[in-house]
Amino acid sequence: MHYLTHIGHGFLENWPVWIVSITLIVAALIDGTKLKVPNWITFPMILSGWFCSIFWPLYAGYGGWEGFLYSILGTFVGLFLLLPAYAVGGMGAGDVKLLAGVGAWVWSLHTLYAFATSAILGGIIAVLMVLARKSWTKHKNQFWGICMEILTVRDPEKLAEIAAERKPHMLLLPYGIPIAIGSIAYFAWTGMLL
């Protein structure tokens, strides 16, 4: 009984992280089946994070305009962390907006750590997918080709064009899944859920 009371108090104290976690699970399920994180999840997640940061002191007692500015900063951190991967065709815009939504709710520092955890997990999943399909050489060559493009092609529009041509031949990882698992694992590890 004491354990259930503890969980109840943890939920009430950490409701923003629970909302983010539930939203991430729904986004991961959709991304896993449709290879897309829809705007009807990402935009409300971002906007509600901004709204709640104004009207409720989500973290460390910051609310009002100060909370809103922290939320905006977290949104931009989430966007900019995944924007380079999006620019070279490594993920979809929905994945970028999903991490921006995480930033709107948990602000910049937690977003940075959730991203790091998600990136490590995403890398492990990607390697396992390549090994399972026994296509290591193809993907290794593709990886080095992308690296060379980034170093030699300076025009972002040209990089996006090359990425669009390459995408149908790539093994796609629904990155909403590593974002969800990595972020929730970070929240649990740091005690943000309870």
What are 135-175's pLDDT values in tens digits? 888 778 887 888 888 888 878 778 778 877 877 777 778 99
Report how far residue 33's alpha carbon sits from residue 43's, in angstroms, rounded to the nearest whole number.
Answer: 20
Q: Is residue 84 part of a domain?
A: yes
**Residue 194 domain-assigned?**
no
* pLDDT band at residue 6 using 50, 70 and 90 as cut-offs: low
Residue 130 lies in a domain: yes
Per the model's pLDDT, the better-predicted residue between 121 and 91 turns out to be 121
> pLDDT class for 177, splitting at 50, 70, 90?
very high
The structural domain count of the chain equals: 1
**Residue 13 pLDDT > 90, yes or no?**
no
**Boundaries of domain holding 122:** 2-189
Residue 94 lies inside a defined structural domain of this protein = yes
The pLDDT value given to residue 163: 78
pTM assigned to the model: 0.86
Sign of CA dihedral 147, 148, 154, 159: negative
